Structure 1
Amino acid sequence: MRLSPWSLNGARFIGYILNSFLCSCIFFLTLHIIDYTPIAINSLRLNYRRRLECTCYRHRLPRLDLNLISNLPENQSFLCSDYATRRGPHQRIISISLYGPKENKRFQYNQSLSFLNELINDVNTIYPDNFILRIHHDDTISLSDVICPIECRNHNVDFCSMNSKLFIPPKIWRFIPAGDPLVDAMLSRDLDSPLTRRERAAVDAWLASNKSFHAMRDHPQHAVPMLGGMWGFRPSLNPTMSRLIHNKIHNRSSVQRFGGSGDQSFLSREVWPQALSSIMVHDSFLCTRSYGKNSQPFPTQRPSANETNCFIGCVRSCCGDGKMPFGQCPKECRPKDHPEWIYC
């Protein structure tokens, strides 16, 4: 039996109406879902693997359960980048600041990039076990020439633009992961200082403990409670303290008092008093000072001086002449079972 032309046209018309209705339902349902999706999830770009300014793609990350980040406090979400957020919880971060001549009179573009490449090599050698280097930067650093190629080559490097946080002094940018709920442990470090096995042994001792904070002093002139490039914190052990540090860093009226080299003053005033109840300190020279009490020796003996192994926090090329810049460490600061470690 053949259908009449009118019947065929009518069927097509009804099909068109049904399809239009179905598409409208899907459209409004999508709007409804988006409208009630938490801000943290809405802000994630669909194509997180490529920055808008880049032509290359980053490594694909494991699928993230968005429920894990849906309940993040709005002011503590997206503290770095889409890609960093997509990594999800339990991140272990090595954090540095990288900024230009306005705040850093000694800034030299090529030298800073050289330091950065050496630091990335150090991370791959000393911290190869899922540590991520976060670089907090201003617009001095070129996206297309520097950020894109470095991120696409290195799955363990995230650049974090500070253009929306320029009220925070640049040396304090590197402290921001201390207030990130997605971070298990953060290590604040200097761009121009090498990472060493001696440092890693001290960090491992801290991570094996139940202490929230870590600090190191490895030179007679490290005469402050906490050095900006030699401390660490475990947000996952103390979320309340993590929120407190986050709020202190983002308090516009107070954080600006710590500009220039005020990062260590910020730590001494705002962090150190809170850290005393749960901190491990490794100290090779100043263990008898008031802030050195309850510190402990480094777990490894100081190696022979060279371009890397000089003291933790040294500026490259460190002891390139093969000579230590100080004498023997005090007997009180040596391990009790190794009093012969005159260079401890």
Structure 2
Amino acid sequence: RSLCSIQSDHRGPNQKVISISVYGSSSNYTDNGMFAWETSIFSFLIPLANEVKLLLPSWIIRLYIDFTGSTKSQKNFLYNFSNIDICDIHNIPMFGSSLVSYLPGKMWRFLPVFDPFVDYFLSRDLDSPIMKRETETIDMWLSDNER
């Protein structure tokens, strides 16, 4: 099992993952109110998903997220992206809801380090755009690893 979701399991091994944590003030695990549901999560996530699809098409975004404070329609909207796996922090395989009690929100995005299905992973902030220069560096890094 992956450390995300059944959707991540279905992608199989050898995944390349861009991992992001989304948590807000209502989740009480280190305030990150900038990314509140009613303000900006989608304004950053939609462009990021499009950039990854265009510039890093073999990579998947894993969104480690606390849905506290979200509406059902906001939650459902996230499942419409083909290149985003939603990792509900209250339902992480092998941890269930216990993880949220002892791991701060800013650390959730590092879970792919321990995931047996992940070969490569990048940790990002939600508001960090993907740059062409960055993708060229990633391509060089991966080609060096294949030698």
Instruction: Tell me the TM-score normalized by structure 2.
Output: 0.81
Q: Match of 2:86, as an amino acid?
A: F
Q: Displacement, 1:142?
A: 3.3
- Give the structure 1 partner of residue 120 of structure 2: 185
Shift of 1:200: 0.4
Whether the 8 Å contact between 2:34 and 2:40 is mirrored in structure 1 is no
1:205-240: CA deviations, max 9, x gaps?
1111139xxxxxxxxxxxxxxxxxxxxxxxxxxxxx
- 1:142 counterpart SS class: coil
Where does residue 7 of structure 2 map in the other structure? 83
C-alpha distance 198-155 of structure 1, shift in aligned 2 (>3 A)? same
Gaps of 5+ in 2: 91-96
- Give 2:21's aligned residue: 97
1:120 is aligned to: 49
Shift of 1:141: 6.0
CA RMSD of aligned residues (A): 1.9
Residue 340 of structure 1 corresponds to which residue in structure 2? none
Amino acid at match of 1:207: L
Look up the equivalent residue of 1:86 and give its one-letter code.
H
Alignment counterpart, residue 169 of structure 1, candidates 83, 104, 113: 104
* 2:52 partner amino acid: V
In structure 2, what is the equivalent of residue 134 of structure 1?
A: 62
* 1:196 aligned partner: 131
Shift of 1:170: 1.0
Work out whether residues 55 and 132 of structure 2, in 8 Å CA contact, stay in contact via their aligned partners in 1.
yes
1:111 counterpart (40, 50, 62):
40
TM-score of the two chains, using structure 1 as the length reference = 0.36
What is the percentage of aligned positions where both structures have the same residue?
41
How many Å separate the matches in 2 of 1:180 and 1:143? 29
CA distance, structure 1, for counterparts of residue 46 and residue 89 of structure 2 = 20
CA distance in 2, matches of 1:78, 1:187: 16
**Structure of greater Rg:** 1
Deviation at 1:105, TM superposition (A): 3.9
Contact 1:94 1:133 in 2 (8 A): yes
| Unmatched segments (≥5 aa) in structure 1 | 1-76, 212-344
- Structure possessing the higher relative contact order (Cα contacts under 8 Å, 6 or more residues apart): 2
Instruction: Identify, as 1 or 2, the structure richer in strand.
Output: 2
SS for the counterpart of 1:134 is strand
- Partner of residue 84, structure 2: 157
| Contact preservation (8 Å) 2:78, 2:86 | no
CA distance in structure 2 between the aligned counterparts of 1:147 and 1:191, rounded to whole angstroms: 17
Partner of 1:147: 75
